[in-house]
Amino acid sequence: MAGCPQNSKAGIQMKEFRYRILNSLAFRIIFPVVATVMVMGFVLYLFVLSSISDFAYKTIKDAFLDMSREIYSVCDRGLNELLVAGAATDEKAIRIKKALTIGMIEDLLKQYNFEGSITGENNEELLSCCFLPDLQKAVKKVAKTSSVESLVHQGKKYYVYQMRFDPWEWHILFVRSAGEYSFLINKVRYAYMATGSVLLITTLALLYYLNRFIKFPLNSITEPVKRGELPEYRGIYEFEYLSDTIGHMMVEKEKLMEQIIQERKLKGINVLASGVAHNFNNILVGVLGYISLARMKLQNAKAAGKPVQGEFVDEILDNLERAGASADKAGSLARELSVFSKKMAREGSHFASVSINTIIAELNELLLNTFPKNIEIVVSLTDEDPLIEGDPSQLEQALLNVCVNSRDAMSDGGKLTIETSLASIANKDPIYPYIQPGDYAVVKIFDTGKGIDNETMVHIFEPFFTTKPVDKGTGLGLATVYTTIRAHHGHVRVESNPGEGSAFTILLPVLKQS
Amino acid sequence: MQQPLCYNLRMKRFCLALFALSLLFGVSGPIEAAGPIKIGLTLGLSGKYSEMSDMQMKGLKLWEKEVNSKGGILGKSVQVIIYDDKSDTRVARSLYENLLSKDRVDLVFGPYSSQITEAILPVTEKNGYPVLVSGASADKLWEKGYKYVFGTYTPASKYAVGFLEMLVAQDLNDIAIVYADDLFSTDIASGTRKWAERFGLRTLLYEGFKDTSNFDELARTVRAANVQVLIVCGHFDASVALRLSLKKIGWYPRAYFASVGPTMQAFYDRLKKDVENVFSSSQWERLITKPFPGCCEFHERFVKAYKKEPSYHAATAYAAGQILEAAVKRAGSLDRDKVRDMLASMEAMSIMGRYGVDRTGKQIKHFNLIIQWQNGRKEVVWPDVLRTAKPVFR
């Protein structure tokens, strides 16, 4: 949006950053490895932890069953001793035996790290071993006879077992904290934390390795290539080979390009020479024709002894004037060629800091006064008013040439739009092959004319190439545009389809703020 | 037979290689420190625990002499190093630090009394020294989470269990418990009250006292509580003083039990005929029924060596030597962690009975005897199968 270029710029940069990260070699290699290891680690973690939890539960259950057997055995032995001593009905002996049995159960519970309680036939408490009263209440709610139950009390998990010793009508409860086994799970957690750390270190080491042995060599090759220099990497054999091959290809390409340029130059000279020859020939035909005609008329008059006077003189003068007009045309062509050749020589003596918006505004004035009224002219200028370094008259002439081209393409009227904006070219862009990365002022001129076919597009910037009638143009207008923009270190690009109008995009480097 | 030369050369090389390897990997095993096995402890040879501490020292010295006469332990002689801690916790703590750092003892025994033992345990625990406690029984010593403390005495909370059992049989249901304000005495008192409840007895008075308390006043308070039995949880002097106060106020309960003191000959020497019918708890007595091996032989050797009767303090100190000897022999090493693991897991028999501890190190296999002074003699009255006389209640 033209209203918020900063946001647009930041968005483009973010997109570019994301693109670079996601497509980086390190990401593409490490991400699948790390993701796979993480998923496997997580699944293994769940599996091992659940196994350990199951093991812990089974161990706890076994411990409770063992304890219940032990306690029952203690009670049973106490009762048997009473019976053997014939004291089964001796109230004092029973009191003593029960008290001693309770003491033995207390020792057992303490020895194996249980909490517990014994309640008698009238629900009186006979023993409370390390049992906090509120926990005891909570335990009584969940306890089931001969079954290991669990409960969470004040954030801690407990296992509970209840048993009965019917001869004395004792309800025996015992409890153990699940935390007794948490060390196992904690050990696994620590092991996984250690594994995680190792994984992290390995990942970092891998990143370093990739950076050191892959990214760095690749950068050593790609960076000079981006700058148009030959890569000269030395180190890892494969990358050396790649570097040498690319270097070799670049040299070959350079040679090929030189060859092509040479050929293009020759072709250009051919086109220029033939154009000059053709134009001058046409002009000379006119000059020579009229002079010959005048001479022939004079020779005939001399032979006939006809006096040179009256209308005859007017005829001769008319012929000479026409020859002179043709000679003037030749002079004009020669001057135009002179201007073109000066631009080709990149004359930069008039370069100064200029506002592209100002140039467009002046151009707009000119267009409004000179273009047919059936062509609507729309101008949209960027608020940032970019400054560039250049010759304002050359630039205005170049932009005028583009507009004239558009005008000629809209003989039945249409719309001509001129926009200015800013663009940032981060890398070598294949769309703009001749320009360096940096900030550019963009002038976009598009029309609703008849458009340009592919055949014409190939030759559009060649000198003397024209699709107009012979007397309508010299074929130097767009060639002048091209040479002017290149002389300003910019680039011009044309996009068009027959019947869909044309769009000329001109990029000019923005003057750097010092 | 003469071996061929090449064989001898090969053997020489082989032996040299073996020797080099043994140097490299320490195949020769750990080198034992030269000199005797040093076992250190402190006792209150002066101060309020001097009677009991003197007995403990005599018991240990007798064990030291006997174990050395049998070739020592692991082929080494034994040296018991004893310092007088003056029955003071701070002195004892400092002396234990010296034993560990200056005397560099191999192992230690605990000092006498629960209070002093409690004071030195942080030192031994911090340095990884297993302590065989042969003069303390307060339950709280094993409730602090220490890993290197192992008891030989029946815990204080169970001192009076046998006595309470006898009360049930005699229909004596109303009791008073008075206790001194030290660690050991409070543990006896709270344990006794808990067990009394289990036996269905009524604790009508439960009151603490200080060494400086007016025992006559305390005696009158007990009388006013209208109880049948008085249980005194304290040390030698309190046991004597309260007995004298009871005489002074002219009242005596149906049974008088004192936790510490009555087992000593000195108790008789102080009270003479007033010792009559006093009950107490004893970790060891000479039993002619010989329930434990070496029990009578120890008595004979002790009397022969010192010309006096051993109290249970002497016997338990001697027994502690026997237990530590068994632990070191079974561990096969003086490595303190190995000895600690052995003390934590083993069961052994000594002149005072069984040794075996729970996971906290508290003694659970040994049981106390109940004694009573009858006709100027100390008789074992509980358990029934070991008693030398029937208990007498007024």
CA dihedral for A213, A216, A218, A221, sign (positive or negative):
negative
B-chain residues near A112 (CB < 8 A):
359
Residue A256, in any domain of the structure: no
Point out the residue among B198, B358, B360 whose CB comes nearest to the CB of A103.
Answer: B198
B-chain residues near A96 (CB < 8 A):
165, 168-169, 199
My answer on whether B224 and B169 are in the same domain is yes
Strand partners, A145: A162
Point out the residue among B161, B169, B359 whose CB comes nearest to the CB of A92.
Answer: B169
Distance CA B199, CA A94 (A): 10
| Three-class secondary structure assignment of A285-332 | HHHHHHHHHHHHHHHHHHHCCCCCCCHHHHHHHHHHHHHHHHHHHHHH
| pLDDT, mean of residues B102-118 | 96
Could you tell me the end-to-end alpha-carbon distance of chain B, in angstroms, rounded to an integer? 91
Among A162, A185, A208, where does a domain finish? A185
Residue A92 Cα, gap to closest chain B Cα (Å): 6
- What ipTM is given for this predicted complex? 0.77
Q: How far is CA A347 from the centre of its chain?
A: 40
Residue B381, in any domain of the structure: yes
Q: How many domains does chain B have?
A: 2
By the CB < 8 Å criterion, does B192 face chain A?
no
Q: What is the largest CA-CA distance in chain A?
A: 185
Q: Contact A206/A33 with Cβ under 8 angstroms?
A: yes
Q: Is B301 exposed, middle or buried (0-12, 13-18, 19+ CB in 10 A)?
A: middle
By the CB < 8 Å criterion, does B158 face chain A?
yes
Point out the residue among A95, A110, A113 whose CB comes nearest to the CB of B199.
Answer: A95
**Both tokens assigned to A265:** 């130059």
Distance CA B333, CA A482 (A): 99
Q: What is the pLDDT of residues B139-172, one digit of tens each?
A: 999 999 999 999 999 999 999 999 999 999 999 9
Comparing alpha-carbon positions, the chain A residue that sits nearest to B194 is A127
CB contact under 8 A, B168 and A102: no
Main-chain phi, psi angles of A176, to 5 degrees: -140, 140
Residue B10, in any domain of the structure: no
DSSP 8-state symbol, B73:
B
CB contact under 8 A, B359 and A96: no
My answer on whether B140 and B209 are in the same domain is no
| pLDDT for position A469 | 66
Residue B15, in any domain of the structure: no
- DSSP H/E element including B229: strand B229-233
CB contact under 8 A, A103 and B161: yes
Comparing alpha-carbon positions, the chain B residue that sits nearest to A125 is B198
Q: Contact B164/B279 with Cβ under 8 angstroms?
A: no
Residue A406, in any domain of the structure: yes
Residue B164 Cα, gap to closest chain A Cα (Å): 9
Residue A105 Cα, gap to closest chain B Cα (Å): 12
My answer on whether B273 and B320 are in the same domain is no
Residue B85, in any domain of the structure: yes
| pLDDT, mean of residues A141-166 | 87
CB contact under 8 A, B165 and A111: no
| pLDDT for position B92 | 97
Q: How many helices (H) and strands (E) does chain A have?
A: 12, 12
Comparing alpha-carbon positions, the chain A residue that sits nearest to B170 is A92
A-chain residues near B164 (CB < 8 A):
99
Distance CA B241, CA B230 (A): 14
Q: Contact B28/B37 with Cβ under 8 angstroms?
A: no
User: Which among B326, B281, B339, B262 is positioned nearest to B107, based on CA atoms?
Assistant: B339
By the CB < 8 Å criterion, does B359 face chain A?
yes
Point out the residue among A95, A110, A113 whose CB comes nearest to the CB of B200.
Answer: A95
Point out the residue among B158, B199, B359 whose CB comes nearest to the CB of A96.
Answer: B199
pLDDT band with cut points at 50, 70 and 90 for residue A300: confident
User: Which among A47, A42, A64, A53 is positioned nearest to A186, based on CA atoms?
Assistant: A53
CB contact under 8 A, A110 and B360: yes
- Which position has the higher pLDDT, A273 or B272? B272
Rg (C-alpha) for chain B, rounded Å, is 25
Q: What is the pLDDT of residues A486-512, one digit of tens each?
A: 888 888 889 988 888 999 999 999 987
Q: Contact B44/B84 with Cβ under 8 angstroms?
A: yes
pLDDT reading at B341 higher than 70: yes
| pLDDT for position B390 | 95
Distance CA B112, CA A240 (A): 84
pLDDT reading at A3 higher than 50: no
Q: What angle do CA A8, A9, A14 make, to 5 degrees?
A: 95
Q: Is B23 helix (H, G, I), strand (E, B) or coil?
A: helix
Residue A278, in any domain of the structure: no
Q: Contact B164/B192 with Cβ under 8 angstroms?
A: yes
Residue B109, in any domain of the structure: yes
| pLDDT for position A329 | 78
My answer on whether B346 and B277 are in the same domain is no
Strand partners, B281: B370
| pLDDT, mean of residues B359-378 | 93
B-chain residues near A98 (CB < 8 A):
198
Distance CA B180, CA B209 (A): 5
pLDDT reading at B312 higher than 70: yes
Q: Is B223 exposed, middle or buried (0-12, 13-18, 19+ CB in 10 A)?
A: middle
Distance CA A355, CA A452 (A): 30
| pLDDT, mean of residues A29-42 | 75
- The edge-to-edge listing of strands for the beta sheet with B37-43 is B78-84, B37-43, B107-109, B131-133, B149-151
| pLDDT, mean of residues B69-79 | 95
My answer on whether B347 and B297 are in the same domain is yes
Among A185, A202, A218, where does a domain finish? A185
Mean pLDDT (chain B) is 90
Site from B198, B354, B363 to mutate, A interface, most A CB atoms within 10 angstroms: B198
**Domain ranges, residue B308:** 37-154+292-355
pLDDT band with cut points at 50, 70 and 90 for residue B25: very low
Q: State the count of interchain CB pairs (< 8 A) between A and B.
A: 37
pLDDT band with cut points at 50, 70 and 90 for residue A471: low
- A185-194, A274-283, A386-395, B28-37: range with lowest mean pLDDT: B28-37
Distance CA A114, CA A172 (A): 12
Q: How many domains does chain A have?
A: 2
| pLDDT, mean of residues A189-200 | 76
My answer on whether B234 and B262 are in the same domain is yes
A-chain residues near B199 (CB < 8 A):
95-96, 99
Q: What is the pLDDT of residues B117-144, one digit of tens each?
A: 999 999 999 999 999 999 999 999 999 9
**Both tokens assigned to A432:** 């703009």
User: Which among B278, B290, B284, B292 is positioned nearest to B313, based on CA atoms?
Assistant: B284
My answer on whether B239 and B380 are in the same domain is yes
Comparing alpha-carbon positions, the chain A residue that sits nearest to B358 is A111
**Both tokens assigned to A82:** 């009473």
CATH code of the domain containing B329: 3.40.50.2300
| pLDDT for position B18 | 45
DSSP 8-state symbol, A73:
H
Comparing alpha-carbon positions, the chain B residue that sits nearest to A130 is B143
Q: Contact A363/A395 with Cβ under 8 angstroms?
A: no
My answer on whether B257 and B377 are in the same domain is yes
Q: What is the pLDDT of residues A332-386, one digit of tens each?
A: 777 777 666 655 545 555 788 889 999 999 899 889 888 889 999 999 999 888 8
pLDDT reading at B27 higher than 50: no
- DSSP H/E element including A344: helix A311-344
CB contact under 8 A, B195 and A126: no
Q: Contact B246/B273 with Cβ under 8 angstroms?
A: no
Neighbours of A161 (CB within 10 A): 27
- A237-241, A272-276, A498-502: range with lowest mean pLDDT: A272-276
**Domain ranges, residue A470:** 348-509
Residue A29 Cα, gap to closest chain B Cα (Å): 46
My answer on whether B338 and B373 are in the same domain is no
User: Which among A386, A359, A377, A340 is positioned nearest to A478, based on CA atoms?
Assistant: A340
Distance CA A17, CA A24 (A): 10
Residue B142 Cα, gap to closest chain A Cα (Å): 11
Residue A220 Cα, gap to closest chain B Cα (Å): 51
Q: What is the pLDDT of residues B247-261, one digit of tens each?
A: 999 999 999 999 989
Distance CA A467, CA A463 (A): 12
Residue A218, in any domain of the structure: no
pLDDT band with cut points at 50, 70 and 90 for residue A433: low
My answer on whether B375 and B230 are in the same domain is yes
By the CB < 8 Å criterion, does B304 face chain A?
no
CATH code of the domain containing A137: 3.30.450
- A171-185, A316-330, B231-245, B323-337: range with lowest mean pLDDT: A171-185
**Both tokens assigned to A283:** 């002009």
Residue A257, in any domain of the structure: no
Residue A314, in any domain of the structure: no
My answer on whether B76 and B148 are in the same domain is yes
CATH code of the domain containing A477: 3.30.565.10
**Both tokens assigned to B171:** 């229909």
By the CB < 8 Å criterion, does B358 face chain A?
yes
B5 φ/ψ sector (left φ>0, alpha ψ -120 to 50, else beta): alpha
Q: What angle do CA A64, A68, A74 make, to 5 degrees?
A: 145
Point out the residue among B158, B168, B362 whose CB comes nearest to the CB of A95.
Answer: B168
Among A167, A185, A203, where does a domain finish? A185
Q: Contact B139/B155 with Cβ under 8 angstroms?
A: yes
Neighbours of B373 (CB within 10 A): 22
DSSP 8-state symbol, B139:
G
My answer on whether B115 and B223 are in the same domain is no
Residue A311, in any domain of the structure: no
- Residue A75 has, within 13 A of its CA and on its CB side, a CA count of 20
Q: For chain A, what percent of residues have pLDDT higher than 70?
A: 88
Q: Is A147 helix (H, G, I), strand (E, B) or coil?
A: strand
Neighbours of A121 (CB within 10 A): 10
Q: What angle do CA A483, A484, A487 make, to 5 degrees?
A: 85
B-chain residues near A95 (CB < 8 A):
168, 199-200
Q: How far is CA B183 from the centre of its chain?
A: 16
Residue B361 Cα, gap to closest chain A Cα (Å): 10
pLDDT reading at A2 higher than 50: no
| pLDDT for position A71 | 94
Cα separations (Å) of A65 from A161, A166, A307?
9, 18, 152
Strand partners, B278: B256
Residue A233, in any domain of the structure: no
- Which position has the higher pLDDT, A208 or B65? B65
A-chain residues near B173 (CB < 8 A):
none
B68 φ/ψ sector (left φ>0, alpha ψ -120 to 50, else beta): alpha
Q: How many helices (H) and strands (E) does chain B have?
A: 12, 14
Q: Is A239 helix (H, G, I), strand (E, B) or coil?
A: helix
Distance CA A137, CA A158 (A): 13
Residue A100 Cα, gap to closest chain B Cα (Å): 8
Main-chain phi, psi angles of B373, to 5 degrees: -80, 120
